[in-house]
Amino acid sequence: MAVSRQRLTVRAGGAKIAMAASSVSEVIRGPRITRMPHGPPSLVGVTHLRGQVLPVVSLSQLLGHAAEPVDRVVVLRRDPPVGLAVDGVEALRAVDGDDMDRGDGELLLDDADGARWFDLGAALEARFATFRSGGRSQAAMITPRQAENDAILADLVYLGFELAGQAYALPIDAVVEVGTLPRTDDILLGVSDHRGAVLPIVSLRALLGLPSRAPAAEDRLVITRIGDQPLGLVADRVSAILRASPDRVGAAPSLFNRGEGEARIDAVLRLPDGRGLVSVLSSETLLADERLARLLNTAVAAKETSMAEPVTAARRQRFVVLRLGEERYGLPITAVDEVVRAPETLSRLPKAPAYVQGVMNLRGRVIPVIDQRQRFSVAGKRGDGGRVVVVTIGGLQAGFAVDGVDTIVEAAADELLATPGLTEGGEAVFDRAIERDGEVVLLIDPKALLDRAEADLLRDLTAAS
C-alpha cells in the first residue's frame, strides 16, 4: 500500500514546481532582503530569520528564466538552510508516495516541455562555489588587526559632530554607538529604552549653553559610557571620524570653559590645512552638570536586575555602518583609520582600473581612492556629500568612496551571525552580519575587500605617484 505524502506546488519562471512538503521548513511572505554584492545572478540576497542569515535564491533563475518579483520565500530544510524566491504558492495536497519517489531530482517541473525532474542540489552547487561548505563558521571568523604603521598607531582618533554650527568631538574609545534619535517628547533630559537597558538622553546644546532648537531629521544620538552607565548625547549631526597626531591636540583655552559650558571642553584639536578647530569633550567631565548627575542616579536606581548583567568590552565589537545606494554595510571600527569628506577633485591615474577614482593627499600621504559603488555594482549615481573611509590593509592604506556613513553600532559576540558562503568564485568579502530592526547588515572583511592582485596594483600605482 502506497504511503500518502504531501506535495507543495509553487510558481516560478512560468512553470509549476512541486516539492515534497517534508523538505520545506516554512513559507514566508516577501521579507526584507539585503543584496549581497559579488554573488551569482541567481542569488537575490540575504534576510534574517530567527537568529540566522538566510540566503534567498531565485528559483526562476535557477531554472534558466528571468528573475521575477519576490512574492514568497520557501525555506528548505537544508544544512545550511536556503530560501527559494518564488512567484507564488499554488497548493499543498496529499499525493501517492510512489509518485514522489520516481525520477532523479528534488523538484518536479510542469511546463511547456512537460513534467520533468530537476536536481536542485546540483544546481545550487554549480552556481555557488562554497555552498557545500556552508559558509564560514564562527570559529573561522577573522578579527581585523589594527593598522600596522607605527605613525598611524600613534595618532589619536575622535568622533566628530556638530552643534549649532560648531565642530566638536569625543574620543572614539568613549563612543559605544551612533544612531538615530528615538521618539520622545522630552529630548532635553529624558530616559529611553535601548536594547533592554535604561538609557538617559541629554541635549548637548543644553549642557554647553547653546541655543535650543526643534528636533531635526539629521539629529544623531551618540551613546557613550560613564563607568558602566550608558549615556545618550543628542548632536545636530555626526560629521566624520577624525585622526590626528598628538601634537595637533592641545589644552582648551580658559575662555572655552566659562559660563554654562564650564569644564565640558577637555582639549582642542587643530585640523590640518587651516580647516579650523574642533572642541574635544570628555565624557567624565559631563558629570559636572548637577541635572545630569541626578538623571544618572535615577536611571541607575530604576534598572531591573535583568538589565544589570554586565557585558565586558572584550566581548563587544563596534562597526562603522556605510551607505551605498539603498544598502548598508559594516566595517570593523578597528580597521578604519578615519572618515573624511570626499575631495572635490582627485588626481587621475593613467591606465588605472575604472573603479580606482584617483589619489588624494591626506596629510602628506598619497591615498588611492576606490569607488565602492562600482565594486559592489550599485545602481545610480552618487549624490552630494560623499565620504571616503580610509583603511589600512596589509600595510596598504586606501580610501573607499561611499555615499555616506550612517551610524556606529556595537554588537556582542553572540549577536554576530555567520554569513552563508554563497559568493561567486568563493570570495568571502562578507565574513559576518548583524541584524538591526529587521535588516541584515553585512559586515565587510577588510582584508578580503582588496584581493592580492588589486592590492599589488594599487601599491605600485601609489609608489609611482
Residue 319 confidence (pLDDT): 92
Q: What would the pLDDT profile of 216-231 be if each residue is shown by its tens digit?
A: 877 888 888 776 777 8
DSSP three-state, residue 90: strand
What are the structural domains of the chain? 4-128 (2.40.50.180), 150-310 (2.40.50.180), 314-464 (2.40.50.180)
Ranking 3-12, 218-227, 296-305, 434-443 by mean pLDDT, the lowest is 296-305
Instruction: Considering only residues 460 and 434, tell me which one the structure prediction assigns the higher pLDDT.
Output: 434
Residue 427 above 70 pLDDT?
no
Cβ neighbors of 334 (< 8 A, separation 6 or more) are 144, 145, 146, 317
Residue 352 above 70 pLDDT?
yes
In angstroms, rounded to a whole number, what is the distance separating the alpha carbons of residues 445 and 431?
6
In angstroms, rounded to a whole number, what is the distance separating the alpha carbons of residues 126 and 131?
9
Residue 308 confidence (pLDDT): 43
Residue 325 confidence (pLDDT): 87
In angstroms, rounded to a whole number, what is the distance separating the alpha carbons of residues 59 and 79?
18
Residue 276: count of CB within 10 angstroms of its CB: 10
> Which amino acid appears at position 83 of this protein?
G
In angstroms, rounded to a whole number, what is the distance separating the alpha carbons of residues 309 and 192?
18
190 within 8 A of 221, measured Cβ to Cβ:
no
Give one DSSP letter per residue of 284-317, joined into a string: TGGGGSHHHHHHHHHHHHH--GGG-----GGGEE
In angstroms, rounded to a whole number, what is the distance separating the alpha carbons of residues 283 and 224?
7
Using pLDDT thresholds of 50, 70 and 90, give the confidence band for residue 291: low
Output the furthest CA–CA distance in the chain (Å, rounded).
94
Residue 184 above 50 pLDDT?
no
Using pLDDT thresholds of 50, 70 and 90, give the confidence band for residue 132: very low
- Residues 39, 42, 44, 49: is their CA dihedral positive or negative? negative
- What average pLDDT score do residues 134-142 get? 38
Residue 235 above 70 pLDDT?
yes
Instruction: Considering only residues 240 and 201, tell me which one the structure prediction assigns the higher pLDDT.
Output: 201
Residue 449 above 60 pLDDT?
yes
In angstroms, rounded to a whole number, what is the distance separating the alpha carbons of residues 400 and 179?
22
- What average pLDDT score do residues 172-188 get? 63
DSSP three-state, residue 264: coil
- What average pLDDT score do residues 325-339 get? 88
Mean pLDDT score of the chain: 75
* Cα 451–Cα 334–Cα 232 angle in degrees, nearest 5: 135
Instruction: Considering only residues 388 and 355, tell me which one the structure prediction assigns the higher pLDDT.
Output: 388
Q: What would the pLDDT profile of 435-445 be if each residue is shown by its tens digit?
A: 988 889 999 88
Residue in 309, 313, 332, 331 with CA at minimum distance from that of residue 322: 331
- What average pLDDT score do residues 370-396 get? 81
Q: Pick the most confident of 44-53, 130-139, 287-296.
A: 44-53
Cβ neighbors of 197 (< 8 A, separation 6 or more) are 230, 303, 307
Instruction: Considering only residues 190 and 64, tell me which one the structure prediction assigns the higher pLDDT.
Output: 64
Ranking 211-215, 353-357, 447-451 by mean pLDDT, the lowest is 447-451
- What average pLDDT score do residues 341-361 get? 82
Residue 452 above 70 pLDDT?
no
> Which amino acid appears at position 431 of this protein?
D
- What average pLDDT score do residues 225-238 get? 79
